[in-house]
């Protein structure tokens, strides 16, 4: 009995120490700064030992109605849904409904290489099945309801990108197929299976399979920023299935992560399989490093929604954010959250702007090439906005922050011009690349 009491006190002390170091006010200021500068809309939550220690919501769930986001605002979480689907597949394996070595041909014989592709290959993106979301015409039909038959035809027509199990490449098609397999082995719909196997047993209150966006149910619209927030179109949720159709909140996601990594959904053996990383992919998981610490989790993106969920097993710490509008590099948001959690320094960003006339921008226009990387960047202007376009990519607007310095926050890009020398420096990811005007 004394040993148990001692362990409890150590745990309690560690938790209190963690909480004392956490500077809530500074993180509040960070998010307030993002909100004040139209950089981010959404919600954040952090937990330690399964207990919520921080929540924050900024921006609007509905910009047009000026409806502010709250802790219970619900967001499409995109590919974080794959964590749920992977857990459901492993649950089905535990219940002897299927096997990880079962070939896809048992369910979908018309898919190319189906007799070589196992359930395991689908889970860790080693199937070679082409991801239909990469198709050039995807955005022309993603808002239209699709049946299983129609989606299977699209996946079958997409063919294979490589020999099964020869390498790994991310494919949303894999997880749509896994969703259909779950429906076949349980003889239920994916939403029913999700509710029965995960949502109800662990008591999630604001998580479910999505449908058409419902503001009356506290669901957020999603937006992109182009001078102001513009509403995004809605992917029909019949399409992403278990690859990206779940709706949730950060607090619910933390509850899910805590349950998943502490044996409340699948067994320890199954969890180890899920966490086994091969060529950067586990079963519906990535490994997320932060300094010497390592989390497991997933990011998500659908329409204008972005999200992130990570769980640090050693520290029993979890974080999640769900966003319905981002005009900033979300990796910076994750770094700020984790820096606050682990008592590391981070900066409150400055969004200083310099007002330039259209004529002022002329000195920067032209095509720039580099010996550092095989890339050309074309600089043009749209009225008083400088535009950049890299080889083979879409153009993006640049924001003037100082004399000869422009940035694009969403990608963490800074361009520093030296007009008299016809030079330009691209700064991204801590690296500098030198360009010369042609």
- Residue 57 belongs to some domain of the structure: no
Number of other CB atoms surrounding residue 322 within 10 Å: 31
For the entire predicted model, the pTM comes to: 0.86
What does 95-118 look like in DSSP terms, one character per residue?
A: TTS--TT-BGGGT-TTSTTTTT-B
Residue 417, SS3?
A: strand
- Residue 383 belongs to some domain of the structure: yes
Number of other CB atoms surrounding residue 296 within 10 Å: 23
pLDDT value for 10: 34
DSSP letter, residue 45: E
Q: Do residues 90 and 195 both lie within one domain?
A: yes
Q: Do residues 132 and 269 both lie within one domain?
A: yes
Q: Do residues 425 and 280 both lie within one domain?
A: no
Q: What does the alpha-carbon distance between residue 118 and residue 317 come to, in Å, rounded to a whole number?
A: 33
CATH of the domain at 219: 3.40.710.10
pLDDT value for 6: 31
pLDDT value for 273: 97
Q: Do residues 318 and 422 both lie within one domain?
A: no
pLDDT digit of tens for each residue in the chain (438 aa)? 223 333 333 333 333 444 447 899 999 999 999 999 999 999 999 999 999 999 999 999 999 999 999 999 999 999 999 999 999 999 999 999 999 999 999 999 999 999 999 999 999 999 999 999 999 999 999 999 999 999 999 999 999 999 999 999 999 999 999 999 999 999 999 999 999 999 999 999 999 999 999 988 999 999 999 889 999 999 999 999 999 999 999 999 999 999 999 999 999 999 999 999 999 999 999 999 999 999 999 999 999 999 999 999 999 999 999 999 999 999 999 999 999 999 999 989 888 888 899 999 999 999 999 998 999 999 999 888 899 999 888 888 898 988 899 988 888 899 999 999 999 999 987 789 999 999
Q: Do residues 314 and 429 both lie within one domain?
A: no
Q: What does the alpha-carbon distance between residue 84 and residue 300 come to, in Å, rounded to a whole number?
A: 13
pLDDT value for 362: 95
Q: Do residues 92 and 149 both lie within one domain?
A: yes
Q: Do residues 365 and 304 both lie within one domain?
A: no
Residue 276, SS3?
A: coil
CATH of the domain at 428: 2.40.128
pLDDT value for 411: 83
Angle (CA) 238 244 250, round 5°? 130
Which residues span the domain enclosing 283?
75-341
pLDDT value for 215: 85
Number of domains composing the chain? 2
What does 183-243 look like in DSSP terms, one character per residue?
A: HHHHTS-HHHHHIIIIIHHHT-SS-EE--S--GGGTBPP-EEESSSEEEPP---TTTTGGG
In Å, what is the CA distance from 22 to each residue of 48, 217, 315?
11, 33, 14
- Sign, CA dihedral 209-119-294-414, equals negative
- Residue 354 belongs to some domain of the structure: no
- Residue 103 belongs to some domain of the structure: yes
- Residue 11 belongs to some domain of the structure: no
Burial class (CB in 10 A: 0-12, 13-18, 19+), 203: exposed
């Amino acid at each position: 009995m004394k040993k148990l009491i001692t362990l409890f006190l150590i745990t309690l002390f560690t938790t209190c120490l963690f909480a004392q170091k956490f500077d809530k006010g500074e993180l509040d200021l960070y998010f307030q700064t993002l909100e004040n500068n139209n950089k981010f809309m959404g919600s954040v939550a952090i937990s330690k030992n399964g207990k919520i220690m921080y929540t924050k919501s900024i921006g609007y769930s509905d910009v047009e109605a000026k409806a502010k986001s709250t802790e219970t605002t619900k967001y499409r979480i995109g590919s974080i849904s794959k964590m749920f689907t992977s857990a459901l597949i492993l649950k089905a394996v535990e219940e002897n409904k299927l096997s990880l070595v079962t070939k896809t041909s048992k369910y979908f014989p018309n898919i190319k290489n189906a007799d070589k592709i196992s359930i395991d290959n689908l889970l860790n993106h080693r199937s070679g099945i082409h991801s239909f979301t990469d198709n050039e015409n995807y955005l022309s039909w993603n808002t239209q309801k699709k049946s299983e038959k129609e989606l299977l035809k699209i996946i079958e027509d997409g063919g294979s990108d490589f020999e099964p199990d020869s390498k790994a490449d991310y494919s949303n098609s894999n997880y749509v197929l896994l969703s259909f397999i779950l429906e076949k082995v349980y003889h239920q719909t994916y939403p029913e299976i999700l509710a029965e196997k995960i949502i109800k047993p662990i008591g999630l209150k604001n998580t479910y399979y999505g449908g058409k966006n419902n503001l009356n149910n506290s669901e957020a619209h999603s937006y992109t920023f182009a001078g102001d927030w513009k509403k995004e179109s809605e992917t029909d949720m019949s399409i992403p299935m278990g690859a990206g159709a779940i709706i949730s909140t950060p607090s619910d996601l933390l509850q899910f992560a805590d349950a998943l990594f502490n044996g409340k959904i699948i067994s320890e053996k199954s969890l180890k399989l899920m966490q086994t990383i091969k060529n950067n992919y586990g079963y519906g998981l990535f490994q997320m490093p932060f300094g010497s610490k390592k989390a497991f989790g997933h990011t998500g993106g659908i329409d204008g929604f972005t999200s992130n969920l990570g769980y640090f097993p050693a520290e029993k710490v979890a974080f999640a954010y769900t966003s319905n509008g981002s005009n900033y590099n979300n990796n910076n948001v994750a770094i700020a959250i984790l820096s606050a959690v682990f008592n590391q320094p981070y900066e409150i960003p400055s969004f200083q702007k310099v007002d330039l006339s259209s004529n002022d921008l002329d000195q920067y226009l032209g095509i720039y090439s580099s010996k550092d990387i095989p890339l050309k960047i074309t600089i043009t202007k749209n009225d008083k906005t400088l535009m950049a376009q890299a080889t083979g990519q879409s153009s993006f607007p640049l924001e003037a922050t100082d004399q000869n310095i422009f940035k694009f926050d969403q990608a963490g890009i800074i361009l520093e011009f030296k007009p008299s020398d016809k030079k330009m420096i691209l700064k991204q990811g801590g690296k500098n690349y030198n360009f010369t005007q042609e």
